[in-house]
């Protein structure tokens, strides 16, 4: 189970990574309006959540006393490098925690704001939470890059071509029930990597 969790989250992290590669320092900090979040702020929130939720997750409440969630929505970064360093710090903490999950603790109880929940449920919550924000990052970047955006999914008006390629690459006997059904991953090499 742990390996499956890690593979899924690695995929979503890669979407963020590939997005950041396309952006300048200025674009990381761009906001549509005063009520919007920049990509830098979204990263600050994701990584802040990861550090709080997953540091000593089996023995400490996931809402740490040192976390200031409201402050996560105020930009304190000055460079793209600072943003990406914090992104990596959050993911390292999270992946280190996922690597601690095993059959003995998967259904153990942990606490977030004193609310008890199973370890597996806490992971599922983040499987909804982190991709939600990564989707925001990708969408903001697509708006900024416009015609210069390099798609992370099947290119527009290329679905038929993609489907034809997939039919020639994979037969029904190639199907592994644990493989990723993610339709927008168009690299067979990566798709194979997401199989158990």
Reported as a single tens digit per residue, the pLDDT across 113-162 is 999 999 999 999 999 999 999 999 999 999 999 999 999 988 888 888 88
Is the distance from CB of 30 to CB of 80 less than 8 angstroms?
no
pTM of the model: 0.83
Distances (CA, A) of 117 to 20, 111, 121, 169, 192: 33, 6, 6, 42, 33
Cα 57 from Cα 51, distance rounded (Å): 10
Cα 31 from Cα 36, distance rounded (Å): 6
| pLDDT tens sequence across 2-39 | 899 999 999 999 999 999 999 999 999 999 999 999 99
């Amino acid at each position: 189970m742990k390996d499956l969790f890690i593979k899924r989250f690695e995929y979503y992290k890669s979407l963020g990574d590939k997005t950041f590669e396309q952006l300048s320092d200025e674009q990381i900090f761009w906001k549509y309006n005063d009520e919007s979040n920049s990509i830098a702020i979204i990263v600050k929130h994701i990584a802040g959540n990861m550090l709080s939720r997953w540091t000593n997750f089996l023995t400490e409440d996931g809402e740490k006393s040192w976390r200031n969630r409201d402050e996560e929505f105020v930009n304190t970064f000055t460079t793209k490098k600072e943003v990406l360093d914090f992104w990596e710090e959050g993911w390292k903490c999270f992946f280190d925690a996922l690597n601690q999950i095993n059959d003995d603790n998967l259904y153990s109880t942990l606490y977030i704001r004193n609310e008890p929940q199973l370890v597996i449920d806490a992971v599922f919550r983040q499987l909804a939470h982190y991709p939600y924000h990564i989707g925001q990052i990708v969408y903001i970047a697509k708006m900024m890059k416009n015609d210069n955006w390099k798609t992370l999914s099947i290119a527009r008006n290329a679905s038929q071509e993609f489907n034809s390629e997939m039919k020639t690459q994979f037969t029904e006997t190639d199907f592994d029930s644990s493989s990723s059904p993610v339709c927008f991953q168009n690299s067979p090499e990566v798709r194979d990597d997401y199989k158990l």
